[in-house]
Amino acid sequence: MAEARIIDGRALAKSVKDSLAQRVIKLQAEAIPVRLDAVLVGGDQGAHLYAKNQAKACSEVGIEYKLHELPETATHKDVTAIISGLNANSAVTAIMVHMPLPKAVDADAIQTMIAVDKDVEGVNPANIGNIVFGRRSLVPCTALAVMEMIESTGVDIRGKQAVCVGASTIVGKPVAVLLMQAEATVISTNEYTSHQETLTRNADILVTAAGVPNLVTADLVKEGAVVIDVGINRVVGEDGRKRTVGDVDFDGVSSVAGYISPVPGGVGPMTVAMLLRNTVQAAN
Ligand code: NAD
């Protein structure tokens, strides 16, 4: 059986970034600022690593990046004060808040506070809601990344059976809605779905965003399917070392699928590229 073609998230992200760099140069020539301000509260290692990568990615395309760090002891009021200031500052064209936030801070309220036209992660309910209406808005970056990766295969989405495994507000649900907008027939599953395997085996397009390693094995995948793996899971390998895997058994599924995205090197780098694209869109 033929091996699936790999959807290379790093290569796709590079080509997005190259074209964004050109757009940023043009905006700067017109004296239009392109600046992303990120808020990070507390010492979460993952968030700090993400912030570091963001800073690097922004500098690669010429976007100004400013990180606002607050201690773990910061109150809800402290964070709202920062967001209010950024909302009001016309030099700031994009805002994002790193998760997780400490318990004392109401994350939903903070996300709702971010000005809709600066909300480059698409976490404000107004932006998420706009997806349902098909209106132009700032779409959650990971969902955008998934769509770009499916489109990169050249497979026509319209009329296809699509299954989205996992239905979180920020990943699974927006992906399902975007696939509906593209006129696929969409099934969304969650941890309580019974006989999930009968659904996935019929999927022409299979997106997994559950956060469960090895959830999707070769016997659950239709031959020739497009498989996009959003999951990021840290597991201990047979050699005792920690490594990052997705939700899909990559080696096994590669022998059945038509196209497959790897972890790492798949949705992750494209999500960062989509954050940059949203940042440039917000500046526009
Ligand atoms: P979440 O925990 O908010 O939601 C998980 C969803 O998966 C829920 O709807 C849950 O019901 C469902 N689920 C859990 N077990 C399941 C099972 N056995 N079968 C079917 N559905 C199941 O998670 P999230 O924030 O959406 O993230 C999901 C995964 O994607 C995580 O591994 C996360 O790290 C990763 N992620 C990756 C990126 C990226 O850029 N690549 C971005 C965001 C999240």
Whether 239 is in a domain gets the answer yes
Averaged pLDDT for residues 99-126:
97
CA 63 to ligand 1 center in whole angstroms: 30
Smallest CA separation from ligand 1 atom 22, residue: 191
Residue 272 domain-assigned (yes or no): no
pLDDT at position 13 over 80: yes
Using DSSP bridges, classify how beta strands 161-165 and 233-236 pair: parallel, antiparallel or unpaired: unpaired
Taking the C-alpha atoms of residue 122 and residue 219, their distance in angstroms, rounded to an integer, is 35
Predicted TM-score (pTM) of the model is 0.96
Q: Please check the confidence at residue 2 and state whether its pLDDT lies above 80.
A: no
pLDDT at 136 over 90: no
Residue 191 Cα to ligand 1 midpoint, Å, equals 10
Q: Domains in the chain: how many in total?
A: 2
Residues 158 and 225 in one domain: yes
Confidence of residue 28 (pLDDT cuts 50, 70, 90): very high
Q: What is the mean pLDDT of residues 152-166?
A: 98
Residue 283 lies in a domain: no
Per-residue pLDDT of 29-84, as tens digits, reads 999 999 999 999 999 998 999 999 999 999 999 999 999 999 999 999 999 999 99
- CB of 168 within 6 A of ligand 1: the answer is yes
| Residue 5, in any domain of the structure | no
User: Do residue 178 and residue 250 come from a single domain?
Assistant: yes
User: What whole-number percentage of the chain has pLDDT above 70?
Assistant: 100
Q: Is residue 273 part of a domain?
A: no
Is there an atom of ligand 1 within 6 Å of 18 CB? no
Tell me whether residue 94 is in a domain.
yes
Residue 26 inside a domain? The answer is no
Nearest atom in ligand 1 to the alpha carbon of residue 267 is 41
Q: Is 99's C-beta closer than 6 angstroms to any atom of ligand 1?
A: no
Question: Does the beta carbon of 274 lie inside 6 Å of ligand 1?
Answer: no
Mean pLDDT along residues 3-31: 97
Indicate whether 59 and 151 sit together in one domain.
Answer: no
244 and 151 in a common domain: yes
Same-domain status, 102 and 199:
no
Residue 72 belongs to some domain of the structure: yes
CATH code of the domain in which 161 resides: 3.40.50.720
Cα Rg, the chain, nearest whole Å? 19
Same domain, 252 and 214: yes
Give residue 127 CA to ligand 1 midpoint distance, Å. 20
pLDDT digits (tens, 9 = 90+) for 188-226: 999 999 999 999 999 999 999 999 999 999 999 999 999
Looking at residue 100, which CATH number applies to its domain? 3.40.50.10860
Residue 151 and residue 77 share a domain: no
In order of 6, 39, 43, 74, 102, the CA distances from 71 in angstroms are 41, 11, 7, 6, 10
- What is the model's pLDDT at position 1? 60
Question: Does residue 149 sit in the same domain as residue 244?
Answer: yes
> Residue 91's domain spans which residues?
31-117
Q: Of the candidates 51, 83, 117, which is a domain's last residue?
A: 117
